Amino acid sequence: MFASHTASPPVAQPGSAGTFLEEKAFRARTVLVFGTVTDALASETVRKLLALDAESSAPITMIVSSPGGHLESGDAIHDVVRFVASPVNMVGTGWVGSAATHLYLGASRERRFCLPQTRFLIHQPSGGAGGPASDIAIQAREIIQARERIAQVIARETGQPLERVLKDIERDLWMPAEEALSYGLVSRVIQRREELEPA
């Protein structure tokens, strides 16, 4: 879900198997986005994108499997995917939900792929408003503005009418790979790395 900050994921210790595998993926120009979208995950992902972009203009592959998380952290990744000069091939796997769908849509339409078992989730942001009435009113206004913004991004990136998207995100809308393809979230369902070429 789109939510406020959550705990940061554990970081692999130097010399660990996790660090070795991350380095191998980085050398292959592959960025992994797994787990809850947090400010820590966004910072790490943005650093990798900028470093790979500075090194070469060759395509970068980003593999995403995430339930979502903090909207503004997803915004940061979404915008930097568009900011770098290197083309980014976005590959969904597992599940791509909420804020993760938002960052997934940062890639150009022809470069959005997913593996066959991927499920996508789109919905409106949620929040637990509390405190004085004036603060609750401010939070409610921000949630409504975020909902409009998310809907506009989905409509722009899928080609769906804004009115339909606004209706679709009123409740959780789950889509398996083929439905996400029909909806316009995904350009192609692939099974192998060799298929990572724009149509």
pLDDT digits (tens, 9 = 90+) for 99-142: 999 999 999 999 999 999 999 999 987 655 556 666 667 777 87
- The answer to whether the Cα torsion of 60, 103, 110, 108 is positive or negative is negative
> For the domain 29-125+167-193, what is the CATH code?
3.90.226.10
- How far apart are alpha carbons 189 and 159 in whole angstroms? 18
Compute CA distances 147 → 19, 166, 175, 177, whole Å.
37, 8, 19, 24
The catalytic residues are 123
Model-wide pTM > 0.75: yes
Q: What is the pLDDT of residues 141-184, one digit of tens each?
A: 877 888 999 999 999 999 999 999 999 999 999 999 999 999 99
- How far apart are alpha carbons 123 and 135 in whole angstroms? 24
* One-letter identity of residue 163: E
What tokens were used for 172?
């959780």
